[in-house]
Amino acid sequence: MQKSGLTAVFFLTFSLINAQNTFGEKQKTIQNGVEKTSEIKEVVVTANRKKTFERKIDRFVFNTENSIASKGADGLDVLAATPMVKADDEGNIEIVGKSSVSVMINDKPVNLSGKDLVSYLKTIRSENIGRIEVITTPPAKYEAQGNSGIINIVLKQNTSLGFSGNISTSYQRKSRNGYSNNGSFNYQSKKINTSLRLSQFNNEKKAQENLSVNADHRLQSESRRLDRNKGYAINYSIDYALNAKTSLGAIFNYSDTRTGNDTQNFSKYYQEAALDSMVISDTYTAGRMKNTQLNMYYEKKLDSLGKKLYVGGNVFGSNNTSPFSLASQSENTGVNYHINSDYQYRIYSGQVDFYLPFKNFTGEIGGKYTRFNTDTGLDFFVNDNGMLQYDENRSNAFAYHENNWASYMTVSKKISDQWEGKAGLRYEYTSLNGISRDAMGVKNEYGKWFPSVYVAYKPDMKHIFTLSYSKRITRPDGRALNPSTIYINPYSYVTGNPYLKPSFSNNFELGYVFKSKFSMTAYYQSSKDNFGQIVGLKGAANTVNYLNNYDETAIGINTTFSGTYFKRWDIYASANYAYVKSKGLAEQVQGLNSHSLYYSINNTIHLNAGKTFSFLLNFWNFLPHTKGNFEFQNTSNLSSGLRMAFMDKNLQINMTVQDIFKGMKFRGKAYYSTYSTYSNNYYDARTFTISATYQFGNNKVKGNSKQIKLEEADRAN
């Protein structure tokens, strides 16, 4: 009975496609003529007046080409510069005031998390990013994964006939030097639209991590780490128009990233107030992650009203090898380990989407199948005077397979000049199983409905009121489910939990927009069975486990404002207030309640009338707040920079400084029933960057037909 819901919405497909065929040929001809004329005009106006920030009914849009992060940066830097988004090198990516999110590239999920996601985002260059969409209550068209919303990175498309491109180079200084080089080459004719993008990077940074676990005895750990990250990436895309209504395309991504870190750890174990023992550990990791992705698609316009069919398939593969060596010395003995870990991800998906505009309403209907495979191996060796001895008891392997079937339908209608509505329903059926070498495993099947509703009221040109609701799910990834134990040092290890349950959330928003400059959104979010890492003590060892550890409700208000003063000062400001209440689910976890406040202000001051020299000054501050059983201390970031354009704006030079006062420290305390932990970490966020980007080719050639096509794609989003 559950799987029957997967096909239920498809019964409406062909009746929708064939419905309302009473339009005469004369009406079609007139509508085609009007449509072309209006679209050409709108493209010109939009291109000249595109704002850095836009607030739409269901999403916030950050147009990156007007930002300091538009050139000489990577995808992670662009996310970190996006209002309402927090992102760092440690894999913490979230929307302020919300829980975990999913990241998409051109409406396609990345299906990576943590540091794997960070490594992937660093292979994307800011020159190739058109905009960032922050979607806090996603429509049913999108996958339900992601507790509170979606961050959609939209890559640029060719906008003119002929050949064009850009090359860029940048130098980055943290505690160590780094650099990157990038190139983009585009060609477009009436039949072919193709792009080749290349990037290469090499960076190093230091990290400091301090953790204390406090109970009737205490463990204090201090780590100093040097991280290395270098690699290259290739992206190639081609779109071929078979005729005026049909096109075929393919997108290929490949990246090869080598990571490494050298860490020295000092661990002190105290019995009451007396030092019991101390261990000095040196660890070395030399990892390599290779990602390959191929997307192929078929698009067809079904009629002159704009109905479209999309059929696409995706194959994604990721190989992550991470040899790990650990040598420790204490007063009485020493240990020497060598661990080979291998993570392999394989993701296969296929989808069908119909975009169906009619005279009185617009419908969307589609379905998707995704196969997610994870195979991990952990081989543990003891180094005995240069001889590696295999430890079968500590070695393990874990195979995880997940199938997800999904179907959706949305209907939107402009009821009047003032009222507009949109409703959607998505059904996802998931089956999963995982088994480890030591016979620990998990098996589960479940089907869930995910509704979404939007209502917009526009009494006049100045005011817009919106009301929205969506239900979401967050599924554990393969690493969190992996029961293998990974040793960080003799006093610290991490173990996954194959019995983790998915987390579900309900999100409500009530919004108001004034003149597209000021917006205010009140929201309520309730999430169940949130999962995460639990730090504890087991004897003298610091243990990290995964548990479904808390439920949470949050009520808050988010405001944004953008404006231009004296024709040269562009300002964008935002603030978010929330009251968060958590309830611990695990016996040792204490739920916390708190008030929180986040605010940011971005300033761009154009120093000359031509706006070729600009000064930027940005600041954000997150006051103390809680999440689950963790109490965060204050974090902030003050950044500044100069953007200079030469040679008819074909050459752009950027100079920026991030985290000037080292305010981006991760500090806080976790509360448990019989103990607490305190963290004080800094990941070398203070950064000076200088970059140069040169654009070349036939960028100014105009092609009306191609501009119309791109505008249609924007409306379909």
Predicted confidence (pLDDT) per residue in 193-248, tens digit: 898 989 899 999 999 999 998 888 888 889 999 999 999 999 898 999 999 899 99
- 362 contacts 356 by C-beta, under 8 angstroms: yes
Evaluate if residue 452 carries a pLDDT over 90: yes
What H or E segment, with its residue span, contains residue 282?
Answer: strand 274-301
CA distance 166 to 172: 20
Evaluate if residue 315 carries a pLDDT over 90: yes
Evaluate if residue 16 carries a pLDDT over 60: no
pLDDT at 67: 63
- 383 contacts 390 by C-beta, under 8 angstroms: no
Q: Report which listed range, 38-47, 372-381, 690-699, is most confident.
A: 372-381
Structure letter (DSSP) for residue 127: G
700 three-class SS = coil
User: Which of 67-81, 165-179, 423-437 is predicted least confidently?
Assistant: 67-81
CA distance 450 to 17: 24
- The two three-digit tokens of residue 387, written as one number: 């001889």
580 three-class SS = strand
CA distance 320 to 343: 5
> What is Dmax (Cα atoms) for the chain?
93
Evaluate if residue 700 carries a pLDDT over 50: no
What H or E segment, with its residue span, contains residue 274?
Answer: strand 274-301
User: Which of 11-20, 213-222, 705-714 is predicted least confidently?
Assistant: 705-714
**CA-to-CA separations, 141 to 67, 464, 591, in angstroms, rounded:** 29, 23, 34
Q: What is the mean pLDDT of residues 510-524?
A: 89
- Mean pLDDT score of the chain: 82
Query: Per-residue b/e over 453-471, b at no fewer than 16 CB within 10 Å?
Result: bbbbbbeeeeebebebbbb
Q: Which domains does the chain have, with CATH numbers?
A: 50-156 (2.170.130.10), 517-685 (no CATH)
List of E strands, 126-216: 129-135, 150-155, 162-173, 177-188, 192-214
Burial of 352 (0-12, 13-18, 19+ CB in 10 A): middle
Predicted confidence (pLDDT) per residue in 25-52, tens digit: 333 333 333 333 222 222 223 334 456 6
Structure letter (DSSP) for residue 517: T
Cα torsion 17, 19, 21, 27: sign: negative
**Which residue has better confidence, 653 or 61?**
653
Evaluate if residue 345 carries a pLDDT over 60: yes
Predicted confidence (pLDDT) per residue in 163-189, tens digit: 888 888 999 999 999 999 988 888 888
**CA-to-CA separations, 84 to 73, 159, 598, 600, in angstroms, rounded:** 19, 29, 9, 9
Confidence of residue 60 (pLDDT cuts 50, 70, 90): confident
pLDDT at 489: 63
Evaluate if residue 449 carries a pLDDT over 70: yes
pLDDT at 702: 31
Number of H helices, E strands in the chain: 7, 37
Confidence of residue 697 (pLDDT cuts 50, 70, 90): confident
CA distance 205 to 207: 7
